[in-house]
């Protein structure tokens, strides 16, 4: 009330700026209203071949919409599943290109020289936001195939969705200091380690799939909250539908995310829920 009284005595031009500043501050610290449904972007969705006989493309799109997703970044082993969903819902499904032609290639794709040409051809013909999710660790990043993937991403302005360890993150940025890396599962690392890497690499983001320890019974963990507050523009949501059964938990997962996002200041919650992903996509497409 003191501030409102003082503002009333300001000139009209200054009064408008003062009210705008107060409203911006209120939006930053205010929690979400209890009945407010937060829009979400899920950056870690797969529609692999083993899901096709269990969940039709139409049903998959329906589940994404039931979860209240504005968009879903979808990559699949192989790319056919992604394209089926994208054709049904171009406004919802954002294609991301995996280097796998099918299941079982996670540990050997980086040794297959033909992967480089396959990815290059698909990127030229398609409209992909990123490359991944791909799996690799440590020295594997230095292999020619992965170095080519890093170069492809740089050439086409794409991000890398990388399921990798800390050493691999370091090696990616050593190969391309300007690379944009979406770190799958935040590397399954603890908040302190994640914070060190994010401080070192401004172009490192992380998805929060399979990190249920973030919130126990819907209440946000203190260490994770401090991490989100320290790096509010660097985290995104993900469900990781790597098996068919995971598709049936999409709505539940979205509800769980909204429950702990409500513990955060509105601006940070919106960043994690959808704004950070929007920024990544704006720089990729």
Beta bridge partners of residue 69, listed in sequence order: 40
Q: What is the pLDDT of residue 28?
A: 42
Give 40-69 pLDDT, tens digit per residue.
999 999 999 999 999 999 999 999 999 999
Beta-carbon contacts of 229 under 8 Å, excluding residues fewer than 6 positions away, are 264, 268
SS3 191: helix
Q: Is 207 exposed, middle or buried (0-12, 13-18, 19+ CB in 10 A)?
A: buried
Give the pLDDT band of residue 283 (cuts 50, 70, 90).
confident
Contact status, residue 83 vs residue 122, Cβ threshold 8 Å: no
For 134, the enclosing helix (H) or strand (E) is: strand 130-135
Each residue of 72-108: pLDDT tens digit? 999 999 899 999 999 999 999 999 999 999 888 999 9
- Quote the mean pLDDT of the chain: 89
């Amino acid at each position: 009330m003191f501030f409102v009284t003082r503002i009333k005595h300001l000139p009209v031009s200054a009064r408008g700026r003062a009210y705008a500043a107060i409203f911006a501050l209120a939006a930053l610290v205010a929690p979400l209203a209890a009945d407010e449904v937060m829009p979400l972007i899920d950056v870690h969705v797969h529609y692999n071949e083993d899901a096709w006989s269990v969940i039709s493309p139409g049903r998959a799109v329906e589940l994404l919409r039931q979860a209240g997703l504005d968009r879903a970044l979808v990559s699949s082993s192989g790319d056919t599943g992604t394209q089926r969903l994208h054709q049904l819902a171009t406004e919802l499904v954002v294609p991301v290109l995996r280097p796998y032609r099918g299941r079982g290639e996670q540990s050997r794709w980086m040794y297959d020289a033909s992967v480089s040409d396959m990815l290059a051809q698909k990127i030229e013909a398609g409209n992909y936001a990123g490359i991944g999710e791909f799996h690799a660790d440590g020295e594997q990043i230095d292999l020619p195939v992965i170095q080519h993937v890093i170069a492809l991403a740089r050439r086409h302005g794409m991000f890398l969705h990388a399921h990798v360890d800390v050493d691999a993150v370091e090696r990616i940025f050593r190969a391309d200091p300007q690379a944009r890396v979406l770190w799958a599962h935040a590397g399954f690392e603890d908040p302190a380690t994640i914070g060190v890497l994010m401080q070192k690499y401004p172009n490192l983001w992380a998805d929060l799939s399979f990190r249920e320890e973030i919130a126990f019974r819907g209440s946000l963990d203190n260490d994770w909250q401090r991490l989100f507050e320290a790096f509010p523009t660097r985290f995104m949501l993900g469900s990781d539908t790597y098996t068919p059964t995971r598709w049936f938990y999409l709505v539940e997962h979205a509800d769980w995310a909204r429950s702990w996002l409500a513990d955060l200041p509105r601006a940070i919650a919106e960043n994690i829920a959808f704004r950070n992903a929007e920024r990544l996509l704006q720089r990729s497409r």
